Amino acid sequence: MGTTQLEPVPEPKYWHLKTVLSEALDSEFAVGEILPNERDLAARFGVARATLRQALEQLELEGRLQRRRGVGTTVAPPRVGVAVGTEQHVWPGGTGDDWQPVDSTPEVPPASVAAALETGAEEAVHLVRRSRVSHGQPVAAELLWVPASSVPDLTAIDAPAGAARARAVLRELQRRELEGRESAVELGSARADDAKQLDRLPGAPVLVVTTRYVSEGRTAALSVATYRADTCRLTFGDSGGVEIHEGPERRAS
């Protein structure tokens, strides 16, 4: 491997190195491929290892790299497209849904959720937990709150707990006519439970997508989905096919 000298530029050296490394990831490495060790990379680009680490950390934050214990630093897969504001109205668990049901239990929701669902302050609702995985890694975790009034026939189903119960709640929910849904997105920090499910450290940046499902003029279900900010991108409209990365370090596609 030859030596590549960096040209003087009016920006932090690690930031310029990040750009150069990103171009190398696009042209020389495949998804999942392990990068050379820090010593070899620092020698290749003629920088101190501290500078290299800063650049690698920034690329990890941007979702270009993944650091895996016992493996090393690998090239991350493309970001998962998260459809927001689509015109297609479908219930959770419907056709094309990439989420996997994990569990369902009766829970008293937080006050803000209870207000949105118009349930009593101490009234338990069905809490469906789901996860989303891409390229073998967890990218999102969802809490789906469903009031009993939205699934009145659920008591007749013999599915006391676990993923079977979650699927039963989703099936009953899909019997209703969906009039519409509204979504909101905000940047947040991973709480302890989220961090554990998403294989991140507490406080890591996440995207929180809150979706309200409307049926018969009222909120029939409320979803709070937490996505890893380093692995996801938001798409708007039906296709979500447009993806533009500004700056020299990412090519438009």
pLDDT by residue for the chain (253 residues), tens only, comes to 556 766 665 678 888 899 999 889 888 999 889 999 999 999 999 999 999 999 998 888 777 888 777 778 888 887 777 766 555 678 998 877 789 999 999 999 999 999 999 998 889 999 999 998 877 778 899 999 999 999 988 876 666 778 999 999 999 999 999 999 888 889 888 888 888 888 877 888 889 999 999 999 999 999 999 998 888 887 776 554 444 443 433 333 3
pLDDT of residue 118: 92
Q: Which pLDDT value is given to residue 11?
A: 73
Residues 6 or more apart whose Cβ sits within 8 Å of residue 250: 22, 26
pLDDT score recorded for residue 158: 65
| CA–CA gap between residue 168 and residue 159 (Å, rounded) | 7
**Residue 84: per-residue pLDDT:** 67
pLDDT in the model for residue 3: 67
> What is the Cα–Cα distance from 49 to 46, expressed in whole angstroms?
9
Domains with residue ranges and CATH for the chain: 13-75 (1.10.10.10), 80-236 (3.40.1410.10)
DSSP state of 142: E
From the list 82, 69, 87, 101, the residue with the least C-alpha distance to 171 is 101
Beta bridge partners of 225: 142, 209
Q: Supply the pLDDT for residue 243.
A: 47
Parallel, antiparallel, or unpaired: how do β-strands 232-236 and 80-84 relate? parallel
**How much is the pLDDT for 248?**
37
- State the pLDDT at residue 94: 81
